[in-house]
Amino acid sequence: MYHYQRQKYMSEFAAKKMICEIGKRMYDRNFVASNDGNISVRVGLNAIICTPTGVSKGFMTPDMLVKVNLKGERISGRLKPSSEMKMHLRVYEENDEVMAVTHAHPQVATSFAIAGIELDRPLLSEAVVLLGRVPIAPYATPGTQEVPDSIAPYCKDHNAVLLANHGALTWGKSLEEAYHRLETLEHYATILMYTSKIIGGTNELNCDQVGTLINLREKMGIKTGGVPTCSQKEITSSLGMESKEEESTKDVGKDEIIESIVAKVTQRILLKLDKGR
């Protein structure tokens, strides 16, 4: 590993070795089938090692990998880079802190992408910290310029994105981080499927709990991810501020008391008037 303007780059040898290892993990965990998916690592200011087209990620060897520049032009390697490298390059362009990108088709997360359901519910503390909110990029034809254009709005503020009717894309400051986010994404999606679609019930974290996790995330140096949607229902402020629901309940109580008092006073006045007659 070497440094350039405070950035840490892996050596080409280490990057190729790790890409092959991560590719096998993706294949063994059924995140990809056949020749699906792609992986890239930035190894210099204008150099990226990436997976080639038409090769199973479970059977790659270092000599199969390709070196390209940030325009996608091949620098070295006997095979052609994946046609989906365009979206990898867009992530690097939009977010200069990114050092690696992974793309796969994990079954459950991809099912949510097909259903058009974002992963934005605060169920797992690990998912809140490591992923945050995972939006869905609009559908784009794979291998075209539409794909990088569709993900561009999410590259700076998020750690992952679902690709509508396609798959998932994650990135990070290292290949391990990018891949671990892919694993966490599928793990989170699977638990969300079980709780919301099979068991039929969830006990979500409230906004106070989510806020604590976001603070923890920032202390860990993770500044991206967005904030999952959370509920204020169970929250009362430590400063004595009450929820709207409690306030409305108290208002109803006051109104009922006032009405009761008015009714009793009116009744007594009418009784006195009757006696005076």
Task: Read off φ and ψ for residue 218, nearest 5 degrees.
Answer: -65, -35
Calculate the alpha carbon distances from 208 to 14, 29, 152, 217, 240 in Å: 42, 35, 31, 14, 15
Strand partners, 134: 119
The token duo for 37 is: 């998916």
Residues 246 and 236: their CA atoms lie apart, in Å, by 9
Residues acting as catalytic residues: 84
Q: What angle do CA 174, 89, 144 make, to 5 degrees?
A: 135
Compute CA 203 distance to the chain's CA centroid, rounded to the nearest angstrom: 19
Q: Which residues of 185-197 are buried (b: 16+ CB within 10 A; e: fewer)?
A: bbbbbeebbebee
Write the single-letter amino acid at 72. G
Compute CA 225 distance to the chain's CA centroid, rounded to the nearest angstrom: 6
Return the half-sphere exposure (C-beta side, CA atoms, 13 A cut-off) of residue 245: 6
Using an 8 Å Cβ cutoff, are 151 and 135 in contact?
Answer: no
Compute CA 260 distance to the chain's CA centroid, rounded to the nearest angstrom: 54
Positive/negative CA dihedral, 143, 105, 214, 197: positive
